[in-house]
Amino acid sequence: MALPGTVGRSKSELVDDAVKYMWRHGTPITATTKAQGPIAVSGQGVHITDIDGNTYLDGLGGGSAAATIGYGQKEVADAVSEQLTRLHYASTRTFLNEPAIELARRIAEIAPGDLTTSFFTSSGSEAVETAAQIIKAYHKQKGQPGKTKVIYRKTGFHGVGITAASASGSPDYRDWFQPLIPGFIEVPTCYTYRRPEGQSVEDYAEACAQAIEDEILRQGPDTVAALFAESIPAGLILPPTQSYLKRLREICDRYDVIWLDDEVFIGFGRTGKYFGSEHYGVVPDIATASKGITGGYVPLGAAVVSQRMMDVIFGDGGAGQAKIHGHTYSGHAAACAAGIAVMDILARDGLVDNVARLGDKMLNAFSEFGADHPNVGDVRGKGFLIAIELVEDKETKKPFAASSGIGRGVVAAAMKENFLLRSARDVVAQSDGFEIGDIITLFPSFVATEAEVDQMIDITKRAITAACGQAS
């Protein structure tokens, strides 16, 4: 009899079946065979164990930042199980359900400013798609149907739908899926480390913001609906300056361009605050969230809409009825029950504060390490969202050649010590004219203890030194 969650087949049978029957994403399908797994079977805290009994220290929150409150949180499982047994499903088209109402209320409580109203989805991509539709409805309802274009930033990533792909910068997420939606316009990202030589950070940030305003004016403000911009872009981990986001807010206000703050990666605590925008004292018009809402226990996403947009969309008594359709699983009771349990745990265990405190510790430790290391060009991040950008030459900021495989070398060296981290170069292709070095990224679960964080710091430093040592 197989254990719950396992199917009682050997690892080699599972690997064969994976290659034959399962389209694994994020890697060529043949990589499953080459890598021989690993196949994850259990987890506790910040540790995940594979089918061979190897236990890994997870610096990636489950690989994609979703496992925010760590593995094995029984209270979440109990809340889901309880809800599934009592009422597993009732469409929110027909019935309201208690967990969905309560979770929406709790989100409004923690969300910044007047972000009051959650439209639930089952993923981040669906939340982005939903937000895009709500934005269109807002402009139509306001009598400005010509506002349909979307400004997005070069290194942004917003998910796998065609709307998201149209607003994502990397060719990896775009090129195969052309033609994309017309009227999506790319502008620069605020990537302060890679600013032009001699320019101050503030001047550079201002120029990046100005480029957005210029683009809106070039396109015609009455044609531009939205700016899709993560408050802290997570792909390459690029915290902007304080003034930059304030300027974006002003620009959006000036031209009635809706700022969609995509917080799918960072929302619900990853940066040491519930929402990334809070670090900058600005409030988006609409925010999307997903991973952190349920900590990866069950799929759930949300587009959280501001009251000012709601007032327009439903202002005349609902004649707009912006989005009458929804997903079969919008507001799924068990997913929302998980969300409530996760929010309870975040608050009870002070996990967002833990992220802020230990994130600072990590950032400081890597900054000190980087100051003395010839190949650490930049260390940046907020909370448990940390990037270490490696370069061949610190003076000129010249990246290592892609062929040197430095990033992969760091990941492999860490893996030898059973520690999981990521190299962003492997997942974000180089955009035209944009030098992207090997960016080592860490985004662990919020439950990491100080000792576990110390261990992550030590292994990362060793792995960087080993991989860079081999390259030189």
Ligand X SMILES: Cc1ncc(COP(=O)(O)O)c(C=O)c1O
Q: Which of 290, 3, 350, 255 is nearest to 131 (CA)?
A: 290
Which span sits near ligand X by CB under 6 A: 131-139, 156-164, 242-250, 396-404?
156-164
> x/- site string to ligand X, residues 235 to 264, per CB under 6 A?
---------------------------x-x
Which span sits near ligand X by CB under 6 A: 121-129, 135-143, 239-247, 325-333?
121-129
- Shortest Å distance, C-beta 435 to ligand X: 22
Give CA–CA dist 208/354, Å, rounded: 33
- Nearest residue (CB) to ligand X, 160 versus 388: 160
- Nearest residue (CB) to ligand X, 286 versus 365: 286
**Percent helix, strand and coil across the chain, each to the nearest 5:** 45, 15, 40
Q: In this structure, are residues 420 and 60 in contact, taking their beta carbons and an 8 Å threshold?
A: yes
- Nearest residue (CB) to ligand X, 299 versus 409: 299
Query: 106, 139, 149, 158: which one contacts ligand X (CB under 6 A)?
Result: 158
Under the binding rule (CB under 6 A), the answer on residue 131 touching ligand X is: no
- Shortest Å distance, C-beta 230 to ligand X: 5
* Residues between 159 and 178 that touch ligand X (CB under 6 A): 159-160
Binders of ligand X: how many residues, by CB under 6 A?
A: 15
- Shortest Å distance, C-beta 65 to ligand X: 7
- Nearest residue (CB) to ligand X, 124 versus 407: 124
Q: Which residue has the tokens 């690993």?
A: 38
Q: In this structure, are residues 340 and 102 in contact, taking their beta carbons and an 8 Å threshold?
A: yes
Under the binding rule (CB under 6 A), the answer on residue 137 touching ligand X is: no
Q: If you write DSSP's letter for every residue of 31-70 in order, what string do you get?
A: HHHHHT---EEEEEBTEEEETTS-EEEESSGGGTT--TT-
Burial of 318 (0-12, 13-18, 19+ CB in 10 A): exposed
Which span sits near ligand X by CB under 6 A: 89-97, 153-161, 192-200, 437-445?
153-161
Under the binding rule (CB under 6 A), the answer on residue 290 touching ligand X is: yes
- Nearest residue (CB) to ligand X, 123 versus 354: 123
- Nearest residue (CB) to ligand X, 293 versus 341: 293
- Structure token digits, residue 212: 């957005």
Give the CB-side neighbour count of residue 198, counting CA atoms within 13 A: 0
**E strands along 51-201, which residues?**
55-58, 115-121, 149-153, 184-187
* Residues between 437 and 456 that touch ligand X (CB under 6 A): none
Instruction: Determine the 3-state secondary structure of 285 from DSSP.
Output: coil
- Shortest Å distance, C-beta 180 to ligand X: 16
* Residues between 199 and 238 that touch ligand X (CB under 6 A): 230, 234
Give CA–CA dist 327/330, Å, rounded: 5
- Shortest Å distance, C-beta 245 to ligand X: 16
Give CA–CA dist 272/279, Å, rounded: 9
Query: 191, 265, 366, 400: which one contacts ligand X (CB under 6 A)?
Result: 265
- Structure token digits, residue 443: 């985004």
Under the binding rule (CB under 6 A), the answer on residue 125 touching ligand X is: yes
Give CA–CA dist 237/191, Å, rounded: 9
Under the binding rule (CB under 6 A), the answer on residue 332 touching ligand X is: no
Which span sits near ligand X by CB under 6 A: 20-28, 124-132, 360-368, 381-389?
124-132
Which span sits near ligand X by CB under 6 A: 69-77, 123-131, 327-335, 414-422?
123-131
Q: Which residue has the tokens 């409530």?
A: 340
- Shortest Å distance, C-beta 27 to ligand X: 15
- Shortest Å distance, C-beta 68 to ligand X: 13
Task: Work out the angle between the directed axes of helices 351-372 and 333-348 (0-180°, nearest 10).
Answer: 70
Give CA–CA dist 271/454, Å, rounded: 18
Interface contacts to ligand X, rule CB under 6 A: 64, 123-125, 128, 157-160, 230, 234, 262, 264-265, 290
